[in-house]
Amino acid sequence: MMEKRMEDALKRLQKIHEENLLGGGREKIEKERSKGKLLPRERIECLVDPGTFVEIGSATEAPGAVPRLPCDGAITGYGRIDGRRVAIYATDFTVIGGSIGMQHMQKFDKLWDYAGKWRIPMVWLLDSAGGRLGTEEGVIGRVEWFFWYEAQYSGVVPQICVLLGPCIAGHAYAPCMTDFLLMARKTAHLWLGGPRMVAAATSEKMAEEVGSADYHMVYSGTCDVVGDDDRSTILEARKLLSFLPSNYLEKAPIRKTNDSPLREVPDLVKIVPVDTSKTYDMHDVIEKIVDDGDYFEIKKEYAKQLITCFCHFNGQSVGIVANNPSEHGSILECNACDKYYRFLEVLDAYNIPLVNLIDTPSEIPGEEEENKGLFRHGGKILHLYCTSTIPKISVILREAYADAGSIIMGGVKGIGVDISWVWPIAAIGISTSELNLVETYGKGIEEDAHEQYLDRPRERIDAFDIAKTISSQVFDEIIYPEDTRKKIILALELTKDKERRLSIERKKDHGNPPT
């Protein structure tokens, strides 16, 4: 027969769990549901494999709070996604806006300690008003600890933030410091200063869309993936994790596929026109060459002239950076450079090979881009490309010119490209004009620049001419277009055991790239 003390303890535990399910109360639950939101535990169930979530700290509450604040607004624990372990932090907006008090923050800290120690990814399901103001727990609720843990474990374990509600002021830095930020279109907002705060401080009336998921996808480039609602956004996070390893010491899981590594793609010559004045959508090329036509695009609506996406080749997780001639002529500018740089950082951190699909002229000249610091933006890509230690494979489809195509996109071997293939129609060069610098140096180059640069045909160095001198070290081999998929898979196989260290030993793990 059960002793009374045990019976009382079990009843007490059961009561805590029942109160936790109610969060901040039925009225607040209904208010959240009316916005189309899932409750935090429903979000967790949507994220993890059925029955795998294990909660920690369920009895936590803010000391002295009346009424009780279940879990202090933070649900933390572990689960499995496709059988792999993940740490999960979910805020409960029904509990005083999911705001961050001391116990809330301590739960987050403890979870990070475990995730870092056990080398497992961290997934945030964030819906919070930020620091808990007006309490003795501190002016900003110790929100700064978020930043410390994110920075310490950056590049150690994948960090994914799924933003499903508001995030404002200093706390808004936290989602931006994770590896990936996913936002729900209907409910997520990210502001340094929200509409009311900005109006109070400056009298400026912000447009309603500022801070929304689409705003941060299209204009600021802060958001990586947009979902229509809670469920679809969370499912996107599940898929994203399938391309990533659990930590920096591992490689991403191999995905089973029936797509033959020897499959030829004859349709590529129909997609890509020989005439460089004609455009095409590089998405069509990517769909044809990757496993099962399936890829996962990052920052899809931002700087659309550059495509960054995850995919699989023969089951291996790979990151693609590709020019897209159908958007702005595939010309790289500051935003596209930032998009490229951020994606390459993630690939290098988590041992994911890079494949560049190249078809681009030079970077865009002009006062606007110069004012933004185009050289700095392009320079930081060069710095990272030269120091990244992952396998790097390039395919030049039509043209690779000057700084953008020949260098930044990995079109020449000298910056660390492991294997470079080119199509027979490829044209490669340093300059996009016929301006003879030897003849005109010091004799009015600037006066003649418009005519020479814009009004004359591009210098075209044929791939076959380059191939005559292997010492040029521009590419490894001219390939048949239909063999593109096979050649990429071959290159990945050849480089899979590449030594991951810099040729020059450093005491620190970073250099000093342009900002």
Q: How confident is the model at residue 445 (pLDDT cuts 50, 70, 90)?
A: very low
Structure tokens at 252: 């991403």
- Give the percent of the chain with pLDDT over 70: 84
Task: Give the per-residue pLDDT at 328.
Answer: 83
Residue carrying the six token digits 């180059």: 445
Structure tokens at 109: 């800290």
- In this predicted structure, the answer to whether residue 459 has a pLDDT above a threshold of 80 is no
Weakest mean pLDDT among 75-79, 307-311, 471-475: 471-475
Which alpha helices (DSSP H) does 397-511 contain, by range? 402, 437-440, 445-454, 463-467, 484-494
- In this predicted structure, the answer to whether residue 407 has a pLDDT above a threshold of 80 is yes
Task: Give the per-residue pLDDT at 454.
Answer: 45
Structure tokens at 283: 């998405």
Task: Give the per-residue pLDDT at 65.
Answer: 79
- In this predicted structure, the answer to whether residue 444 has a pLDDT above a threshold of 60 is no
Q: Is 334 exposed, middle or buried (0-12, 13-18, 19+ CB in 10 A)?
A: buried
Q: Is 11 exposed, middle or buried (0-12, 13-18, 19+ CB in 10 A)?
A: exposed
In angstroms, rounded to a whole number, what is the distance separating the alpha carbons of residues 282 and 292? 17
Task: Give the per-residue pLDDT at 435.
Answer: 39
Weakest mean pLDDT among 103-117, 130-144, 160-174, 421-435: 130-144
- In this predicted structure, the answer to whether residue 222 has a pLDDT above a threshold of 90 is yes
Structure tokens at 344: 């390459």
Concatenate the DSSP letters of all residues of 315-358 into one string.
TEEEEEEEE-TTTGGG---HHHHHHHHHHHHHHHHTT--EEEEE
What digits encode the pLDDT tens for the residues 318-374?
999 999 999 987 888 899 999 999 999 999 999 999 999 999 876 555 788 788 888
Mean local confidence (pLDDT), 282-309: 98
ω into residue 67 within 30 of 0, thus cis?
Answer: yes
- In this predicted structure, the answer to whether residue 80 has a pLDDT above a threshold of 50 is yes
- In this predicted structure, the answer to whether residue 215 has a pLDDT above a threshold of 80 is yes
In angstroms, rounded to a whole number, what is the distance separating the alpha carbons of residues 225 and 217? 7
DSSP letter, residue 254: P
Mean local confidence (pLDDT), 246-251: 96
Please, which residues bridge with residue 355 across strands? 320, 393
Crossing angle, helix 374-387 and helix 334-349, to 10 degrees? 20
- In this predicted structure, the answer to whether residue 416 has a pLDDT above a threshold of 70 is yes
- In this predicted structure, the answer to whether residue 502 has a pLDDT above a threshold of 80 is no
Spell out the domains of the chain, with CATH numbers in brackets: 4-241 (3.90.226.10), 268-494 (3.90.226.10)
Please write down the long-range contacts of 273-279, taking CB distance under 8 Å and 24 or more positions apart. 274/398, 274/425, 276/398, 276/399, 276/427, 276/458, 279/325, 279/326, 279/329
Higher pLDDT among residues 103 and 370, named by residue: 103
Higher pLDDT among residues 328 and 15, named by residue: 15
What digits encode the pLDDT tens for the residues 145-161?
888 999 999 999 999 99
Crossing angle, helix 230-241 and helix 40-47, to 10 degrees? 40
Higher pLDDT among residues 360 and 194, named by residue: 360
Mean local confidence (pLDDT), 365-389: 85
CA atoms within 13 A on the CB side of 371: 3
Q: What angle do CA 501, 502, 507 make, to 5 degrees?
A: 95
- Give the percent of the chain with pLDDT over 90: 63
3-state secondary structure 95-119: CHHHCECHHHHHHHHHHHHHHHHHC
Q: How confident is the model at residue 513 (pLDDT cuts 50, 70, 90)?
A: low
- In this predicted structure, the answer to whether residue 204 has a pLDDT above a threshold of 90 is no
In angstroms, rounded to a whole number, what is the distance separating the alpha carbons of residues 332 and 365? 10
Q: Strands 122-126, 74-81: parallel, antiparallel or unpaired by DSSP?
A: unpaired
Strand, helix or coil at 96?
Answer: helix
Q: How confident is the model at residue 375 (pLDDT cuts 50, 70, 90)?
A: confident
Largest CA distance in the chain: 103
Q: How confident is the model at residue 501 (pLDDT cuts 50, 70, 90)?
A: confident
Mean local confidence (pLDDT), 55-82: 90
In angstroms, rounded to a whole number, what is the distance separating the alpha carbons of residues 74 and 84? 23
- In this predicted structure, the answer to whether residue 28 has a pLDDT above a threshold of 90 is yes
Please, which residues bridge with residue 494 across strands? none
Task: Give the per-residue pLDDT at 436.
Answer: 45
Sequence-ordered list of residues with C-beta below 8 angstroms from that of 507, at least 6 positions apart, any chain: none
Mean local confidence (pLDDT), 226-238: 98
Task: Give the per-residue pLDDT at 170.
Answer: 75
Report the mean per-residue pLDDT for the chain.
87
- In this predicted structure, the answer to whether residue 249 has a pLDDT above a threshold of 90 is yes
Task: Give the per-residue pLDDT at 403.
Answer: 64
DSSP letter, residue 436: -
